[in-house]
Amino acid sequence: MKLPAVTRRLCLKTMATASIAATVSACTASISRMRDYERPLSRKPFLAPRISADRVVREVVGLRPYRPSGFVVKAEKMHDKTVIHNYGHGGGGITLSWGSSALAVRETLGMEHRRAAVVGGGIMGLTTARLLQDAGWTVTIYTRNVARHSTSNIAGGQWAPTSVFEEGVATPAFEAQFKWAARIAHHAYTNLGGPDYGVRWIENYYLGLQPFEFSYYLRELPELFASVADLEPGEHPFPVPYVRRTVTMLIEPATFLRRVTEDYFQAGGNFVVRDFADRTDVLSLPEPVIFNCTGLGAAQLFGDTELTPVKGQLLFLPPDLDVDYLTVGGGEGLLYMFPRSDALVLGGTFGIGDGTTHADPAESRRILSGHEKLFADFRA
């Protein structure tokens, strides 16, 4: 039976209204469900990052300078020079920079000299130089690579003093030094928060298929991490059985290094681009005090046989500015996702003893597929 035109229009209008209402209801339910997860820092709902092979714009490799017994900060006399070492920070170079550099600068107490050379232009060299300038020293940085070409500029940037030493190998004296450096560095970064230095607070979610053990720094330095909690399955959107949350800082290396370099120039510092062949070459510098911030270069220049490279590999995707949390873990091998303003960064690897500087295609596929799977099952 054919309905009258007025009746047909009424039916279509009713159906359209019902369809819109159902859509709005579904959206409202979805938004409500997304907001059910309580978050200690962000007021936004969780959103999954957009990850796919066609979005990868860059693969990068960095070599971390690792020592199982921990980083070196000490002064020693070499001929008529004083050499102060500050190197070997493994995966915690950016994190520990201000604290370890403060330890190094403390070695100058009582010196009459006020003129120093800093060898190495990465994060450790820059922070050492700035602290020296603040103490009234005239400083020249000698470096083969300026900061934007250094390993420091490849780092992910989470504030977490991880992969710095091996427990059971490092001495209690080193562990005390490590804790001092971590606390000082944390305090320094909290003073530099904001877009000028590229430092911001952010939630970090550790994702596990097995129950967690507390990492050394969360166990020994709990006061440096806010809102630490183990979450139940209904308290988060991640498709894994174990989730540990913290609130910490994300340091954007490109922004931070650029701003500290500007501060260094404004305080009267200068750079000399120079490569050094050996220790004699370093000791030929005119300054009476020399800071060795050469990272892996210390193996060749100063004969440190414990120093070993640790390969890290990252994938850069265009930034996803709606994602406002970090993840670590959640799949096969080492995985992490850092949503920086310049890129969505996916990692990673920790290849002890691997000094190769090319990206491994198999590792790139693992990192990409691991994150694709993780967020495809995201319970937003």
What confidence score (pLDDT) does residue 154 get?
A: 72
At residue 73, does pLDDT exceed 60? yes
What confidence score (pLDDT) does residue 153 get?
A: 66
The DSSP annotation for 316-329 comes to EE---TT--EEEEE
What confidence score (pLDDT) does residue 380 get?
A: 73
pLDDT digits (tens, 9 = 90+) for 304-337: 999 999 999 999 999 999 999 999 999 999 999 9
Confidence class for position 113, pLDDT limits 50, 70, 90: confident
Mean pLDDT of 73-86: 97
Mean pLDDT of 106-123: 95
At residue 240, does pLDDT exceed 80? yes
Q: What is the CATH number of domain 53-376?
A: 3.30.9.10
Mean pLDDT of 66-73: 98
Calculate what percentage of the chain has a pLDDT beyond 70: 89
Mean pLDDT of 359-367: 96
At residue 9, does pLDDT exceed 50? no
pLDDT digits (tens, 9 = 90+) for 159-185: 999 999 999 999 999 999 999 999 999
- The Cα 227–Cα 225 span in angstroms is 7
- Nearest Cα neighbor of 202 from 322, 324, 336, 380 is 324
CB 155 within 8 A of CB 89: no
What confidence score (pLDDT) does residue 204 get?
A: 98
pLDDT digits (tens, 9 = 90+) for 187-225: 999 999 999 999 999 999 999 999 988 899 999 999 999
Mean pLDDT of 92-113: 96
Long-range CB pairs of 195-198 (<8 Å, 24+ gap) are 195/255, 196/259, 197/251, 197/255, 197/256, 197/259, 197/260, 198/251, 198/252, 198/253, 198/254, 198/255, 198/256, 198/259, 198/341
3-class DSSP state for residue 315? strand
Tell me the β-bridge partners of 200. Answer: 250
At residue 231, does pLDDT exceed 80? yes
pTM of the model: 0.88
Mean pLDDT of 232-238: 94
Measured N-to-C along each axis, helices 93-106 and 172-190 cross at an angle, to the nearest 10 degrees, of 110
First-to-last C-alpha distance (Å) of the chain: 47
pLDDT digits (tens, 9 = 90+) for 126-159: 999 999 999 999 999 999 876 665 666 677 899 9
CB 45 within 8 A of CB 380: yes
Q: What is the CA radius of gyration of the chain?
A: 25
CB 355 within 8 A of CB 312: no
Element (DSSP H or E) covering residue 174 = helix 172-190
pLDDT digits (tens, 9 = 90+) for 27-52: 443 333 444 799 999 999 999 999 99
pLDDT digits (tens, 9 = 90+) for 252-286: 999 999 999 999 999 999 999 999 999 999 999 99
Calculate what percentage of the chain has a pLDDT beyond 90: 83
What confidence score (pLDDT) does residue 145 get?
A: 75
What confidence score (pLDDT) does residue 265 get?
A: 97
